[in-house]
Chains A and B, each alone.
Chain A
Amino acid sequence: MINYLWAFMILIGIVVGVLGGNIAEISNATINSSKEAVSLCIAMLGVMSMWTGLMQVAKKTGLVTSFTKALRPIICFLFPDIPKGHIVNEYIASNMIANILGLGWAATPMGLMAMKELKKLNNNSDIASCDMCTLLIVNISSLQLIPVNIIAYRSQYGSINPAEIIVPGIIATTISTLVGVIFATVARKLSKHR
C-alpha cells in the first residue's frame, strides 16, 4: 500500500505540475526536499540522542518499569495478544508517555522498537498484526495533552491568550483517541471472527 501511495503522490504531482506550468517548481522541490530531509535529520540527531540517553538512564533505574506498571491495565486492554512481561509492553508505554507529554519526536524511536518486537511476535510476517494496527491508530489519534509548540506560535503572533486552546484541544484529542480505540477494538473482534 505504501509503495502505491508514494508512487501516486509523485505521479499525480508531476502530471498536475505539467498541466499547470509548475514544472520548474517541481524540479526545485525534488532537490530542496531531499536536502531538507537531511538537515532535518541532523537537527533531530541532537534532540533524539538527548532523549534516548535520558530514557536509557530511566530504564536502568527501573523508572520505565514503574511507568509501565501504571499503564499496564490500559495496555492490557488495548493489546490483548502481547504476552505478559514482554519487553514490547515497556516500549509501548514509553511511546505513549512521550506522546502524552508532547514529545512526538521522542515517541518515534520507542514506537519503532515496539513495531520491530511486534513483528517478531507475529512470526516476522509482512502482514500487520492487530496489535500493530492498534498501536498505529492510537499513535495517529494524537495523545498529546499540551500542544506546547502551537501555544508558542500563537503567542509569537500576538495572541491575547495563547493558552486558551489547551482545554478545547484536550477535549478534541480525547474524542479522536476514543473513536480510534473503539474502531481498533471493533476491527480486531471482526477480524478474529472471520
Chain B
Amino acid sequence: MNFIVYLSDYIIPFLFFYIIGYSLLTKTSTYDEFIKGAEDGFKVVFDILPTLIGLMIAIGILRSSGALDLLSGTLKPITDFLHFPSELLPITLVKMFSSSAATSLLLDIFKEYGPDSYLGRLVSIILSSTETIFYTLAVYFMAAGVSKTRYTLAGALVSTLAGTIASVLITQLVF
C-alpha cells in the first residue's frame, strides 16, 4: 500500500513536468502563458473573498455558541440507534460547512483515540469520501448569481449520506 503514498508525492511534480515538457515540444511561449494564467488566479481568489468572509463568520458563530455540540447531544439516541458513533457527529456536520474546521476536529480525534482506532479509521474514510456541502453550494451559486437551487441540496445530502453509510459498513468489514 505504501507505493500509493509514494505515488501521491509525484502527482504535482509530474503534472508540472508533463505540461511544461509538452509545451516545449509544441513550441508554446510557456512562461508568458503561465504569467497570464497566474493573473487569473488573483481574480478568482478576490471573487471568493467576500463569500468566504460571510460564511466563516456564520460558521464561527455556530461553532463558538455551542449549537453544534447541543445538536450532537440531542441526536445521540438517534446516532446510537443507527450504530453511528456520536463522537463523530460534530465532525460529520461541520464537514458540511467548512473543511478547515473539520480538519481541526479530525486532528482532535486522532489525538484522543489514535488514527488506527475504529473511530480514527472511520473518520479518515468519511472525510475522504464527502465534501463541504453548504460551502460548495454557496460559493458556486453565489458566484454564478443563482438564488433558486432546486434539487441540488437534496441530491448533495443523499450522496453524502450514502458515502457516510458506506464508510461505516466498509470500516466494519475491512478492519
Known: A1-B148, A116-B143, A140-B133. A16 touches B67 (CB 8 A): yes
Chain B interface size, as a band, is: 35 or more
A70 CB–B CB distance under 8 Å: no
The smallest beta-carbon distance between B44 and chain A, in angstroms, is 4
B36 CB–A CB distance under 8 Å: yes
CB-based A-B contact count at 8 angstroms: 358
Known: A1-B148, A61-B23, A183-B159. A142 touches B61 (CB 8 A): no
B37 touching A22, Cβ below 8 Å? no
How long is the Cα–Cα vector from A20 to B159 in the complex, in angstroms? Answer: 34
- B170 cross-chain contacts in A, Cβ below 8 A: 168, 171-172
A-B contacts, 14 listed (Cβ < 8 Å): A17-B64, A33-B59, A34-B57, A36-B56, A50-B38, A60-B28, A61-B19, A63-B18, A112-B140, A140-B156, A141-B160, A150-B124, A172-B125, A187-B151
Shortest Cβ distance from A138 into B: residue: B159
The smallest beta-carbon distance between A99 and chain B, in angstroms, is 9
Partner among B7, B26, B44, B70 whose Cβ is within 8 Å of the Cβ of A48: B44
The smallest beta-carbon distance between A39 and chain B, in angstroms, is 11
How long is the Cα–Cα vector from A25 to B60 in the complex, in angstroms? Answer: 9
A166 CB–B CB distance under 8 Å: yes
A144 touching B110, Cβ below 8 Å? no
- A3 cross-chain contacts in B, Cβ below 8 A: 147
How many residues of chain A have a CB within 8 Å of chain B? 105
A147 touching B159, Cβ below 8 Å? no
A30 touching B60, Cβ below 8 Å? yes
- A147 cross-chain contacts in B, Cβ below 8 A: 124, 127-128
Partner among A144, A149, A165 whose Cβ is within 8 Å of the Cβ of B121: A165
How long is the Cα–Cα vector from A34 to B53 in the complex, in angstroms? Answer: 5
Closest 7 CB pairs of A and B: A56-B37, A176-B163, A49-B41, A33-B60, A180-B159, A17-B65, A147-B128
How long is the Cα–Cα vector from A63 to B25 in the complex, in angstroms? Answer: 12
A175 touching B163, Cβ below 8 Å? yes
- A165 cross-chain contacts in B, Cβ below 8 A: 121, 124-125, 128
B34 touching A57, Cβ below 8 Å? yes
How long is the Cα–Cα vector from A18 to B15 in the complex, in angstroms? Answer: 51
Task: Kindly supply a per-residue 1/0 record for chain A positions 37-58, scoring 1 wherever the CB is within 8 Å of any chain B CB and 0 otherwise.
Answer: 1101100110011111111111
- B70 cross-chain contacts in A, Cβ below 8 A: 16, 20
Partner among B62, B139, B159, B174 whose Cβ is within 8 Å of the Cβ of A9: B62
- A71 cross-chain contacts in B, Cβ below 8 A: none
- B82 cross-chain contacts in A, Cβ below 8 A: none
Residues in A137-194 with C-beta less than 8 Å from chain B: 137, 139-142, 144, 146-151, 153-154, 157-169, 171-173, 175-180, 183-184, 187, 191
